[in-house]
Structure 1
Amino acid sequence: MAEYHLDHRVRAPTDGATVLDTALARMRNRVRAGQVPDPDECVRLPAGSGFTRAVLFESWWATAHRYGAEWTTAAVRSGLRATEDPDAVAFLLDMAAATGLRPLPPAEVLRFADGDDRRVRHAAWRLLAAYGHGRSPGAGGHGPTDAYERVLLDALGQRPLTGAGIEGIRPGLFVAQSMLMGRFDSPGEGLSGGLSVLLGSLGDALARTDGIAAAITLVTACRPELEKDPLLLHRRAPGHWVLRLPLDSDHPVGPEEMGQHREALAWWAAELLGSLRHPIDVLHVRYADDGSLALAEAARRVGAALVFTATPDPHRQMSERHDTPGANPAHVRHDLHRVFLADRLVERADRVVGIAGRTGGTNELLRHFPQLAERTDGTAPGAPPEGVAPYQPPPDRERRRELLLGAVDAVASSCGDPAPTVLLNVGRLHPVKQQDVLVRAWTESGCHRDSILVIVGGSPRTGDSVERAMRERIERAVAACPEARRRLLLLPALPNAEVRLLERALADPARPFRARYVCSSAKEEFGLAVLEAMEAGLVTAGPVRGGVPHYLTDGDNGLLLDTSTPRSLGDGLKRLLRIGNEEAAVMTSRARRLVRTTYSSVAMARVMAEHYADVTDRERRSSDDGPAIGAPRVRIPS
């Protein structure tokens, strides 16, 4: 296969692959092997696919340093003067700025800066800043047209963007973590899920952990979000700040779009982090996507150690999804791109950690990332225990409790069933969470006759197309069964404190209706919502695929479900409904004790702090790891 076998002879593509697919695979293979393309080859290729530009982005710094500034500058100059493709021009301008090159006289760059294409214009502004020519709003033919351009021009003009800045830093490591998709403060809506809850509580706990000076969580902000609030830095809790990286988009950006913002995102992250009075010691990224690759490059530019949380996907799903006749070539291309990103993040990282799998370890990672075995003498990466924050009830908990229980009780009362079981499901409305499969399983198995189903997630206000599609599939699943429709309650996403309040209220033995929690996901790498339900005292059922089985033991402290089909999930729901009160009391006692003693955000913070301390050695990073010519930093008052 061209992706992994270094063979430069041209072969006819097979199995739906095009000549361009084969060429891209060979280039990725060369970069994996350390054979980066020369500057002329880099300049010829940016007009190709976004996947190609990702490979060039990843290899550009090594190319510039291996072949020298003179050759690289001449190649970029030639490319800029030879092409009119906006994507290629923007890419070359950004790569010149990233390595401190000055390929054109300022007057020529100004012509790009005054053009109509936004990506080219913004890249030219960033390059002018690298020249030492700050850009002022209104200069030239284009002034700022929206919130993103105002923030960008303010940054280039050295104007503070972060209010009062970071203050009160105690001695220790300054760590950053990333959550680039979804809104940090809205779990359950759009792309925001359990990761926002996890990183919120982890950042708070890290700031209180010995050896850690402070924590920053990196998020993104699109144009509408910048219009509402142009400040880029907010304090979430003592010692924990949220830093917003601007994205030139009219909506929150999903993983399939992040590649369009990769170069700009790397610039924003490097400029904002590099301008802090307190240098970042460690940057921790999760997910194998273009956003993480951009942050890995930013970490290199500011001299921070990189920690990467690796998972078996996307490597594992290559055979599961594509080793079948008629596999969709577009899906194969996307997953091969993600495999390349994951491979490069593993290669770049100073420390790779995993998420415990079914058996409690990370040995599966060694099968998918053999380079890890070479670095660790065959030892699997560590798996820091993820965990939940201590329960903090909302300020108006009694009123919120009555409102939430009132909605559930109203559905139960309308069914005329004196003692139904409440099945609770919490999560963002997304195909991987399979709420539609859950509803089908619930109706087709007949479980709707003995229970009511409460699904919490999503927001009708967001207009998210994925959420709309999931709601439509749920409605279709109950359309032919009026009885099931009456027993189904769809609640919008709730703040985490209210979700945990509802779970505790449903678990109250004084309640007239018993309750169970069911996670219907195809798989969960970890399953924070599952842990929260266990901690609340609910009998909890989770998917057998993924990492849930390493803490949930079937029949002991919960149930494991085969969620692969409506029929198998329906059989699991029947088991869940058959659990009696005495058996439930034993299960929930074991589950709650396990979570409270082992899976807490405080324990996770302690382990992560040890990893961060172990990889941090700023003195061993040579000074030439940065750009050839340093760009002016955006000033963030501290």
Structure 2
Amino acid sequence: MTKRTLIVTNDFPPRPGGIQAFVHGLASRRPPGSVVVYAPRWKGCEDFDARQPYEVVRHPSSLMLPTRSVARRAAALVEDGATVVFGAAAPLGLLAPALRAAGAGRIVMLTHGHEASWARLPGARALLRRIGAGADVVTYLGGYTRRRIARAVPASRLVRLAPGVDTDAFRPGAGGDRVRASLGLGDRPVVVCVSRLVPRKGQDVLLRAWPLVLRRVPGAVLLLVGGGPLRRSLERGAARAGLRGSVVVTGSVPWASLPAYYDAGDVFAMPCRSRFGGLDVEGLGIVYLEASATGLPVVAGSSGGAPDAVRHGETGLVVDGTSHTAVAGALCDLLADPARARAMGERGRAWIEEEWRWDLVAARFAALL
């Protein structure tokens, strides 16, 4: 009988986020009953957990730290010789020695943008080195994160594992007409951004760029999809600039509805930028891949690993996310040339089908286990 894989993670639905979706996607594509997930409590987790084809054990609080109590609970879930997967290496990877002592035969750690940031600071890098020492495999998202993490983890342990895209859900014709109708957008040119509304993602730069876009493409609409602490600021900024009729902020929408919101756009844009001296960076940017799968050209910021999710000049454009003029120029170029934009979207869709489908990612994950 195959031993179950234990996934220990702070990042798991129903808490929203890219890492959460990544870890859930990996777990969901394992054979039913072959994994057990140990994750924090989150609002709505009881209903969510009941729908999963595997066991989810919830920690009493909404955050797990590498403490003795967390180690004890995780160790109790380890079957002798089983594989343990840490949904994010930092900081819970510090528990690896305790789980190895409890019987874990193999330990796999996933890394994301924040581990790449840890590798920049001497103290945090020492902790990351200690975390990596407890792993058999440490994954990375792309070239940027590999270069950073290799400062602390031996190259022999590093293996690429990036998120996959559900190409059946994210596809051209996924329901954009319904979204346009519900928001009263008609057939106006639409730039869509799907992301949490936080400074690194660059929605404020899109807002600053928008008057420049309207000069070249009158009637265009900026559709900001997602919730977050910047929502009220963005709405007030749009009102002050007289952009209320051309900027729509939807707030959070259900995950199942996201493909339709992508499909409502003509161009996707998230001009992310690095902050705090490079400590707050984009690890990859799954939204760029989802947009490409939906057949949209993308405009991405040059932060961190974001360029790994775009083929510049082929599937989209990578620009300086701190420059609203650069962002506006890229958006105008694509909106004003629908044939070029459409060709980029088609190449993006083909790229996703060739390299980023979930079945390919699931096979890579299975090999690591």
TM-score, with length taken from structure 2: 0.83
Q: Structure 1 residues 232, 551: closer, same or farther in 2, change over 3 A? A: closer
Between the aligned partners of 2:130 and 2:13, the Cα distance in structure 1 is 27
CA–CA separation in structure 2 for the residues paired with 1:581 and 1:569: 17
1:327-338 to 2 correspondences below 5 Å: 338=124
- Residue 298 to residue 493, structure 1, CA distance change in 2 (3 Å): farther
The CA distance in 2 between the partners of 1:436 and 1:292, in whole Å, is: 35
Q: Deviations over 1:263-310 (max 9, x none)?
A: 332232223x14xxx55722222435334434x355234322221234
Larger Rg: 1
Cα pair 1:174 1:279 within 8 Å, conserved: no
Instruction: Check whether the contact 1:455–1:490 (CA below 8 A) recurs between aligned residues.
Output: yes
Cα distance change of structure 1 residues 576 and 243 upon mapping to structure 2, 3 Å threshold: farther
SS in 2 for 1:420: coil
Distance 1:184 1:316, change over 3 A: closer
1:210-229, CA deviations, whole angstroms, 9 ceiling, x for partnerless residues?
Answer: xxx7123332116x768xx4
Match of residue 347, structure 1, among 130, 133, 141: 133
Contact 1:354/1:382 (CA < 8 Å) preserved in 2?
A: yes
Q: 1:270 to 1:317 in 2, by over 3 A?
A: closer
Q: CA RMSD in A?
A: 3.3
Name the SS of the counterpart of 1:236 in structure 2: coil
Partner amino acid for 2:85? H
Which residue does the alignment assign to 1:193? Answer: 17
Give yes or no for the alignment of 1:266 onto 2:50. no
Shift of 1:534: 0.7
Offset at residue 533 of structure 1 (A): 1.1
Q: Which residue of 1 aligns with 2:204?
A: 436
Segments of structure 1 that go 5 or more residues without pairing to the other structure are 1-170, 187-191, 320-334, 414-418, 459-466, 508-514, 613-638
Which of 29, 32, 46 lines up with 1:205 in the alignment? 29
1:570 counterpart = 2:352: no
Query: Higher helix share goes to which structure?
Result: 1
Superposed counterparts of 1:143-182, under 5 Å: 171-181=1-11
What amino acid maps onto 2:342 in structure 1?
A
Higher relative strand content:
2
1:384 to 161, 170, 174: 161
Query: What SS class does the counterpart of residue 546 from structure 1 fall into?
Result: coil
The letter of the residue matching 2:100 is R
Q: Shift of the alpha carbon at 1:604? A: 0.8
1:219 corresponds in structure 2 to 39
For 1:590 and 1:232, locate their aligned partners in 2 and report how far apart those are by CA, in whole Å. Answer: 36
Deviations 1:116-162 (A, max 9, x none): xxxxxxxxxxxxxxxxxxxxxxxxxxxxxxxxxxxxxxxxxxxxxxx
- Distance in 1, matches of 2:51 and 2:98, equals 22
Q: Distance in 2 between matches of 1:526 and 1:352?
A: 16
Q: Distance in 1 between matches of 2:126 and 2:211?
A: 41
- Within 5 Å, give how 1:49-448 maps onto structure 2: 171-181=1-11, 184-185=13-14, 192-207=16-31, 214-221=34-41, 229=46, 234=50, 236-237=52-53, 240-247=54-61, 252-253=62-63, 259=65, 262-271=67-76, 273-274=77-78, 279=80, 281-294=82-95, 296-297=96-97, 299-304=99-104, 305-310=106-111, 313=114, 338-357=124-143, 362-366=146-150, 368-369=151-152, 372-373=154-155, 376=156, 381-392=158-169, 404-408=179-183, 410=184, 412=185, 420-443=188-211, 446=214
In structure 2, the residue matched to 1:524 is: 282
Q: Is this contact kept in 2: 1:235–1:241, CA < 8 A?
A: no
Q: C-alpha separation between the residues in 1 aligned to 2:325 and 2:310?
A: 22
**Cα distance in 2, alignment partners of residues 561 and 245 from structure 1:** 41
8 Å CA contact retained: 2:194, 2:262: no
Distance 2:8 2:323 in 1: 34
| CA distance 1:288–1:607, change in 2 (3 Å) | closer
Structure 2 unaligned blocks of 5 or more: 274-280
Alpha-carbon distance in 1 for matches of 2:358, 2:204: 31
Counting matched residue pairs gives: 358
Counting aligned pairs with the same residue, the percent is 21
* Counterpart in the other structure of 2:361: 604
Q: Match for residue 497 of structure 1?
A: 256
